Amino acid sequence: MMNDDCVFCNSVGGELLWQNDLCRIVMVEDASYVGFCRVILNKHVKEMTDLTEAERVNIMHITFTVEQVLRDVLQPTKINLASLGNKTPHIHWHVIPRFENDAHFPETIWSAEVRLSHKPTIDGLLDILKAKFLGALR
């Protein structure tokens, strides 16, 4: 269930924060966004409806846990939850904390920038998130 041309089959896809047999949570290195996480399935499957019911429930539980942790830690204006996969048809959920003064708000992060914005720096964010996910997920 791997695909040689797929970036998520061939790499972790970011800084690994947590994982189980089904999926992993990574932090995305992004020039504009702090705390941008992805939940990536550990096998090459295209659509949520290709998963079993139990797998769907599990990956959404994990995705919503990421959302809650990012809300608790960063207090964003809004969470953007996105699943596109047009370029990389391997199930992954983007969980993106958004702020009124970020580079694209209120447009999507994939739109043209609407303002100059500096990415906030949060000391120890990686370790904070790792600890929170470890506590919230088993």
Residues that bind Zn ion (CB under 5 A): 3, 6, 8-9, 44, 90
Contact 35, 41 (CB under 8 A): no
Shortest distance, CB of residue 106 to Zn ion, whole angstroms? 32
Which of 92, 132 has the CB closer to Zn ion? Answer: 92
* Closer CB to Zn ion, 43 or 78, in the complex: 43
Minimum distance, C-beta of residue 116 to Zn ion, in the bound complex (Å): 35
Compute the least distance from the CB of residue 103 to Zn ion, in Å.
29
Residue with Cβ nearer Zn ion (8 or 105): 8
